[in-house]
Amino acid sequence: MNVYHSRRTHRPAARPLLCGMTAALALASAFAVSGCSPARDTPSVISPAAAQAKGHAPAAAPVAIARGKIDVEGGLMELSAAAAGTVQQLSVKEGQAVQRGQLLLRVADDASRADLSVAESEWQLAQARQKARLARLPTLKQTLARWQAAAKEGAADAQNVDEAAQALRDAQSEIDVAAAEVMVAQRKVEQLRAQQKRFELHAPEAATVVRITTHAGANVRPGAPALELLPKRPLIVRAELNESFANVVREGMHATVAADSDGGAVSFPNATVLRVSPVYGTARLQDDAQRGPIRVIECVLSFDQAPAQAKVGQNVRVSFHE
């Protein structure tokens, strides 16, 4: 009987526990309404106890939380050859840093090179003809001057002067034709040289080779990615902001960023909101089988300092603060 009485007297103490569970369920429901599950989308900030243990001031409660992904402006670059053919030379490897204009690969172009060689020979021949015809011009001018002087003294007739003048005009016409031939040959060479560049793939800017999907001896075609580059640009965060926070987050707002993983809270430098998209989209980082597709607004943030451990494509949690 004493044992039974003891259980009766302690039964009212379960009422605070029930209240605590009710509060916890209410908190979980609040997170569910915002589009983030309480297990994975809790604010990515340091708790007051942990902050005090580390000697920091407790972080202010975030006004909004979103999932995001680390990226670079413009994203990764997929490069493909401009001309179809067989890869003759692959000049880089994965993980290699390249500079703007550096040769990445070359497609076999034997026929094009032969055409260019012939065109360059024709250009040189046209220039030689023009030079030879120009060399005759001073002599013809001197001959005409002598005939004109002789005619004035009565030592030559007008026919000799006319023939010398006609020869000079014919030579000048031939020089003009030769100049046109040189111009045409030069344009042909320039055209073939431009086509020659289509067989070479160069880095459009400083970057790191992330992936190579071809090899020497493989066939490539225009539009088929051959290499993927990570440009050397500042890292950004593309966050998916739940539509319920559309009017809360604004440009210039500060945020904290942490890795969105179960392995531990890896923090990155603080970030600042660069822009908020004016249109809605469908969430790609958040899913809820019960609620269906979630409407979000993309929010782009820049890091206040270059993050040392961040990698493009890494999932993060973003906590926005006033």
Q: How many domains does the chain have?
A: 4
For every residue of 251-318, DSSP letters joined together read TT-EEEEEE-STT---B---EEEEEE-SS-EE-SS---TTT-S-EEEEEEEEESS--SS--TT-EEEE
Which structural domain, as residue segments, surrounds residue 123?
Answer: 110-197
**Distance, CA of 151 to CA of 153 (rounded, Å):** 5
According to DSSP, the residues that pair with 68 across neighbouring strands are 239, 316
Contacts of 259 (CB under 8 A, 6+ apart): 265, 266, 267, 268, 314, 315, 316, 317
- The pLDDT of 133-141, averaged and rounded, is 93
pLDDT at 109 (0 to 100) = 84
129 and 181 belong to one structural domain = yes
- The pLDDT of 112-132, averaged and rounded, is 94
274 and 173 belong to one structural domain = no
What residue type is 26 in one-letter code? Answer: A
101 and 139 belong to one structural domain = no
Q: How many CB atoms lie within 10 A of CB 273?
A: 21
Please answer whether residues 302 and 308 qualify as being in contact, where contact means their C-beta atoms are separated by less than 8 angstroms.
no
250 and 304 belong to one structural domain = yes
pLDDT at 144 (0 to 100) = 92
85 and 217 belong to one structural domain = yes
Which pair of structure tokens corresponds to residue 308? 């040392």
Domain boundary among 176, 197, 218: 197
Counting other chains too, the contacts that 31-34 makes at CB distance below 8 Å and 24 or more residues apart are 33/244, 34/65, 34/242, 34/244, 34/245
Query: Tens digit of pLDDT for each residue in 244-302?
Result: 888 899 999 999 999 987 655 678 999 999 999 999 998 888 655 556 678 899 999 99
88 and 222 belong to one structural domain = yes
Query: Tens digit of pLDDT for each residue in 173-229?
Result: 999 999 999 999 999 999 998 888 889 999 999 999 999 999 999 999 999 999 999
What residue type is 180 in one-letter code? Answer: A
What's the CATH number where 226 sits? 2.40.50.100
Please answer whether residues 98 and 209 qualify as being in contact, where contact means their C-beta atoms are separated by less than 8 angstroms.
yes
Of the two residues 9 and 101, the one the predictor is more confident about is: 101
Query: Tens digit of pLDDT for each residue in 48-102?
Result: 334 333 444 445 789 999 999 999 999 999 999 998 999 999 999 999 999 999 9
For every residue of 19-39, DSSP letters joined together read HHHHHHHHHHHHHHHTT--TT
Which pair of structure tokens corresponds to residue 260? 């969105």
Which pair of structure tokens corresponds to residue 207? 């970057």
Please answer whether residues 68 and 273 qualify as being in contact, where contact means their C-beta atoms are separated by less than 8 angstroms.
no
pLDDT at 264 (0 to 100) = 55
Which burial class, exposed, middle or buried, applies to 34 when counting CB atoms under 10 A from its CB (0-12, 13-18, 19+)?
A: middle
Highest mean pLDDT of the ranges 46-50, 109-113, 235-239: 235-239
**Distance, CA of 321 to CA of 99 (rounded, Å):** 39
87 and 189 belong to one structural domain = no
**Distance, CA of 294 to CA of 35 (rounded, Å):** 7
115: which DSSP letter? H
The dihedral through the CA atoms of 302, 305, 311, 317 has a sign that is negative
pLDDT at 293 (0 to 100) = 75
What's the CATH number where 47 sits? 2.40.30.170
Least-confidence region, from 111-125, 232-246, 258-272: 258-272
**Distance, CA of 86 to CA of 67 (rounded, Å):** 43
Of 38, 57, 67, the C-alpha closest to 259 is 67
Q: How many CB atoms lie within 10 A of CB 181?
A: 17
100 and 169 belong to one structural domain = no
Query: Is it the case that residue 170 has pLDDT exceeding 80?
Result: yes
Domain boundary among 231, 254, 286: 231
- pTM for the model stands at 0.62
274 and 128 belong to one structural domain = no
- Confidence class of residue 39 from pLDDT cuts 50, 70 and 90? very low
**Distance, CA of 254 to CA of 318 (rounded, Å):** 10
pLDDT at 309 (0 to 100) = 84
Of 144, 134, 142, 140, the C-alpha closest to 175 is 134
254 and 266 belong to one structural domain = yes
According to DSSP, the residues that pair with 86 across neighbouring strands are 219
Domain boundary among 216, 231, 246: 231
62 and 114 belong to one structural domain = no
3-state secondary structure of 16: helix
88 and 205 belong to one structural domain = yes
